[in-house]
C-alpha cells in the first residue's frame, strides 16, 4: 500500500510518517530518504541523503517501508526510476510513503498508484483533485481541518479525520461525518 502525506510546512507530516513507520516496525524495516537530515528513529531504519543511492538500495531489498521526505522537490516527475517507488516496488514487497507540501506536486502516475492520502491543510485546488482521484465525497473541501490535524482518505471512499497524539505516540482517527442539509 502506497501513501501520500501532504500539507504545509510545520503541519506534522514528518511526525505522522515517523508514527506510521513505528507502527509497521519491526515487521517492515524502513529505508528513509531525508535530504534535510531530520531525526528518525534509527531502529530497523537506514537513512539516506542521496536519492539515487536510496533507490538503488531499495531495488536490492525486499519487504521495506520506503519513505521519501520532501518528495515534491526530490522526485523527478520524468524519471522512471523515481516512478518505480510506487509502480513496481510492490513486486519487492515494498510500501512507499511520499511526503510533500502539496498533493499536486506528485506526478499523476505516482498519485494514481497511492491508496491512501493523509491531507493536512491544502489549497482548494488540491482538495478538489484529491476528492476526484480518490472518488470521495466532494464535501471534504468544506472540512475545517485544524492545524496539526489531517484527513485520511483511501480509495475505498472512506474518510477519517485525525491527529498525532505525541504523548501516546499514536495516530488518533475517527470517521469524518457530514451534517446533512435539512
In the predicted model, residues of the chain with pLDDT beneath 70 are 42-44, 138-139, 141-143, 178-182
Residue 140 lies in a domain: no
Domain membership of residue 82 (yes or no) is yes
Which domain CATH number covers 97? 3.40.50.300
pLDDT of residue 131: 87
For 38, other C-beta atoms within 10 Å of its C-beta total: 14
Residue 154 host element (H or E): strand 149-154
Instruction: Evaluate whether residue 47 is within a structural domain.
Output: yes
The DSSP code sequence of 32-90 is: EE-TT------TTEEEES-HHHHHHHHHH-SS-EEEETTHHHH--TT-HHHHTTTTTGG
* The three grid cell numbers given for residue 1, joined into one nine-digit string: 500500500
Q: Is residue 135 one of the residues assigned to a domain?
A: no
93 is in which domain, residue-wise? 3-126
Structural domains of the chain, count: 1
Asked whether residue 80 is domain-assigned, the answer is yes
Is 102 part of a structural domain of the chain? yes
Predicted local confidence at residue 179, as pLDDT? 61
- What's the CA gap between 161 and 144, in Å, rounded? 10
What local confidence, expressed as pLDDT, does residue 181 receive? Answer: 40
pLDDT digits (tens, 9 = 90+) for 125-163: 888 899 889 888 766 766 678 889 999 999 888 899 999
Report the alpha-carbon distance of residue 44 to residue 121 in Å, rounded. 31
Does 162 fall in a domain? no
Amino acid at each position: 500500500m502506497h501513501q501520500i502525506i501532504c500539507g504545509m510546512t510545520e503541519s506534522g507530516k514528518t511526525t505522522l510518517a515517523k508514527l506510521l513507520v513505528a507502527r509497521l516496525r519491526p515487521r517492515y524495516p524502513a529505508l528513509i530518504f531525508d535530504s534535510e537530515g531530520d531525526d528518525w528513529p534509527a531502529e530497523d531504519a537506514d537513512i539516506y541523503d542521496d536519492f539515487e543511492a536510496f533507490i538503488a538500495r531499495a531495488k536490492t531489498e525486499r519487504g521495506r517501508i520506503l519513505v521519501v521526505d520532501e518528495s515534491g522537490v526530490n522526485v523527478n516527475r520524468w524519471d522512471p526510476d523515481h516512478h518505480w517507488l510506487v509502480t513496481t516496488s510492490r513486486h519487492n514487497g515494498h510500501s512507499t510513503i511520499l511526503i510533500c507540501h502539496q498533493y499536486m506536486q506528485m506526478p499523476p502516475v505516482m498519485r494514481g498508484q497511492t491508496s491512501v492520502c493523509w491531507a493536512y491543510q491544502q489549497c482548494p485546488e488540491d482538495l478538489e483533485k484529491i476528492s476526484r482521484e480518490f472518488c470521495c465525497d466532494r464535501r471534504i473541501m468544506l472540512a475545517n481541518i485544524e492545524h496539526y490535524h489531517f484527513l485520511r482518505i483511501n480509495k475505498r471512499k472512506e474518510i477519517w479525520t485525525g491527529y498525532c497524539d505525541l504523548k501516546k505516540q499514536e495516530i488518533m482517527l475517527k470517521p469524518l461525518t457530514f451534517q446533512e442539509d435539512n
